[in-house]
Structure 1
Amino acid sequence: MKALTKTDFRFDGQKSVYHGKVRDVYNINDDLMVMVATDRISAFDVVLPKGIPFKGQVLNQIAAKFLDATSDICPNWKLATPDPMVTVGLKCEGFRVEMIIRSILTGSAWRSYSEGCRELCGVKLPDGMKENQYFPEPIVTPTTKADEGHDMNISKEEIISQGIVSKEDYEVMEDYTKKLFKRGQEIAKKQGLILVDTKYEFGKRDGKVYLIDEIHTPDSSRYFYADGYERKFNAGEPQKQLSKEFVRQWLIEHNFMNEPGQTMPEITDEYAESVSQRYIELYEHITGEKLDKTTESGDIAARIEKNVSEYLKIAKH
């Protein structure tokens, strides 16, 4: 099976390129962004040594679908998806904050809570909550985007007082975050899923706040299966999840959490194939559609280059 783990395109009007952990972003004339969702996969802030076939396509197509399904709530950066692994959109000045919204006490929030923490990013949490319990209403727990290492939790008050984002812009982002999440939960419910938590990124262009980057993908969100949620919660059992968590769990089982002295376990072709199958399952469950796998044939990079170049030619005129 083929996987795209590296890109090195030279598009017409290209000013710069940013190679992220998973995405490669090409700046076209300081006006458009060509975002390529590669098949790289990261966990514990490190990129795994082998790509996962179809992963980029899965993430790109889920994000595109949800950007279209929420465009009435707030403006977003997407203009087109000229290739299954590519979104082209407006270049915005990104805010140095990620807006995280949670409806259920789980993951890192539960770990902090179980250690006695009763305040998260300035939000007070009630006593006596159990793991995987719904909050009275969804809570917004932002983080600041770090240049290196982990993003840091921060409160709304700190963001505004430190001048990271103006009060006016923050309130717009917070309002959009709550509305986008509500829509995401409604769509998930129709697919027999619970959108547990997610993150949104926003940017600004011509004085207007835009939703940027991916949205409601299994890499940026956590989904539970609705069927069995109540029974598992009452029995104190782990919930069945649709997210990238299964990769993290596999690494933990193989004694890797990117801590000093630990070595990355070998990623066999069989394991990469099994992760690929999970991503395809995620796609089909979240969207209710079959994934088009015909994209695997031929030279993936050459196809992308051709499709994007043709789009940029048309966009110019």
Structure 2
Amino acid sequence: MQLPGQTNFYKGKVRDVYTIDDKYMVMVVSDRISAFDVVLPRPIPYKGQVLNQIAAQFLDATRDIVPNWMINTPLPNTTIGYKCETYPVEMVVRGNLTGHAWRTYKSGKRELCGVPLPEGMKENDLFEKPIITPTTKAHVGHDEDISREEIISSGLVSKEEYEQLEKYTLALFERGKEIARERGLMLVDTKYEFGKIGDTIYLIDEIHTPDSSRYFYLEGYDERQRKGEAQKQLSKEFVREWLMENGFQGKEGQQVPEMTEEVVGRISERYIELYEVVTGKTFQKHDLNYAEMQTKIEEALKQL
């Protein structure tokens, strides 16, 4: 797809990003799916639409906290927004000892990204208050853990700006938790990306989607913790778990297990389930072709 005024194109793991007149961005969220930094061989129907529509709803619901990049969504899987100068760090915020934080803790370490972790915690326990564990942004390969002190001392982000990013991160996470609670969910952890235009900081990219966040069901959470049982969750973690059960963690020499129609269908259903639970709306499937997409995007760009 070539768009009028297009000055750049970037094909990411799961998104196609078009730069228009070096001022706007058109982000098409594809149905491609990645895990362990590998794009899996088969797309997941409606995944792009799910992610884009959840992100749009949460971007609208947080505009009072921080300006964001989104201008409009001309298609269910497409957002048009402002091109920002991106900060080179991702703000990962955690309310629970889960995922990467738990794996670090389980290995015996009691510090993550310079943040001390208390003794005596179990997997999925709540932290006394949310912690921020930033990572560097990698276009290829893995993002790397980094501490607040390293970010500021290395000049990646100035102290004043980083402190503002922290404030925005915690306020966004609190809003996300409030909305999740209304839906019977717990927002466990997530990540935010920021950029700026001039001196103004903008929230960019997607927020509170199953690809960038982890949710637990609130009902039964305390009981499951008491019994040491796994939490019932809605996130992309189930894809990673399926891959690990089938011997794949993205390591050299490992083969992606066969993605049968049943597996693809099951993953698609889980994404749609998460959309409906998180947004409280019934999912409406949209099947799009490139010709229709191009026409609608061009029409939307004329309105800018």
Task: Sort the TM-score into its range (normalised by shorter chain).
Answer: over 0.9
Higher mean C-alpha displacement, 140-149 vs 199-208: 140-149
Identify unmatched segments of 5+ residues in structure 1: 1-8
Task: State the 4+ residue runs in structure 1 displaced beyond 3 angstroms.
Answer: none
* Residue 304 (structure 1) shift: 1.3
Q: How does 1:49-64 map to 2 (within 5 A)?
A: 49-64=41-56
State the secondary structure of the residue aligned to 1:51. coil
Q: Number of matched residues? A: 304
2:32 is aligned, of 24, 34, 40, to 40
1:148 is aligned, of 124, 137, 140, to 140
RMSD of aligned alpha carbons: 0.8
Q: Deviations over 1:20-77 (max 9, x none)?
A: 0001100000000000000000001000111111000000000000000000000000
1:27 is aligned, of 15, 19, 24, to 19
2:101 is aligned, of 103, 106, 109, to 109
* Residue 115 (structure 1) shift: 1.4
Calculate the TM-score normalised by the size of structure 1.
0.95
Q: How does 1:163-178 map to 2 (within 5 A)?
A: 163-178=155-170
Q: Which residue of 1 aligns with 2:154?
A: 162
State the alpha-carbon separation in 1 of the partners of residues 13 and 80 from structure 2: 19
Q: Deviations over 1:246-280 (max 9, x none)?
A: 11111111111111111111112221111111110
Whether 1:306 and 2:295 are equivalent positions in the alignment is yes
Q: Which residue of 2 aligns with 1:3?
A: none
Q: Which residue of 2 aligns with 1:133?
A: 125
Q: Which residue of 2 aligns with 1:277?
A: 269
Identify unmatched segments of 5+ residues in structure 2: none
State the alpha-carbon separation in 2 of the partners of residues 189 and 27 from structure 1: 37
State the alpha-carbon separation in 1 of the partners of residues 118 and 261 from structure 2: 46
State the alpha-carbon separation in 2 of the partners of residues 240 and 300 from structure 1: 36
Whether 1:228 and 2:204 are equivalent positions in the alignment is no
State the secondary structure of the residue aligned to 1:204. strand
Calculate the TM-score normalised by the size of structure 2.
0.99
State the alpha-carbon separation in 2 of the partners of residues 303 and 120 from structure 1: 47
State the alpha-carbon separation in 2 of the partners of residues 38 and 169 from structure 1: 32
* Residue 146 (structure 1) shift: 2.1
Q: Deviations over 1:70-123 (max 9, x none)?
A: 000000000000000000000001011000000100111111111111111111
State the alpha-carbon separation in 2 of the partners of residues 234 and 194 from structure 1: 17
Q: Which residue of 1 aligns with 2:84?
A: 92
State the alpha-carbon separation in 2 of the partners of residues 57 and 147 from structure 1: 23
State the secondary structure of the residue aligned to 2:66. coil
State the alpha-carbon separation in 1 of the partners of residues 51 and 92 from structure 2: 18
State the alpha-carbon separation in 2 of the partners of residues 272 and 300 from structure 1: 20
State the alpha-carbon separation in 1 of the partners of residues 239 and 59 from structure 2: 26
Higher mean C-alpha displacement, 188-197 vs 203-212: 203-212
* Residue 300 (structure 1) shift: 2.2
State the alpha-carbon separation in 1 of the partners of residues 16 and 138 from structure 2: 18
* Residue 130 (structure 1) shift: 1.1
2:243 is aligned, of 251, 259, 264, to 251
State the alpha-carbon separation in 2 of the partners of residues 52 and 242 from structure 1: 16
2:180 is aligned, of 174, 188, 191, to 188
* Residue 306 (structure 1) shift: 1.2
The sequence identity of aligned pairs, in percent, is: 61
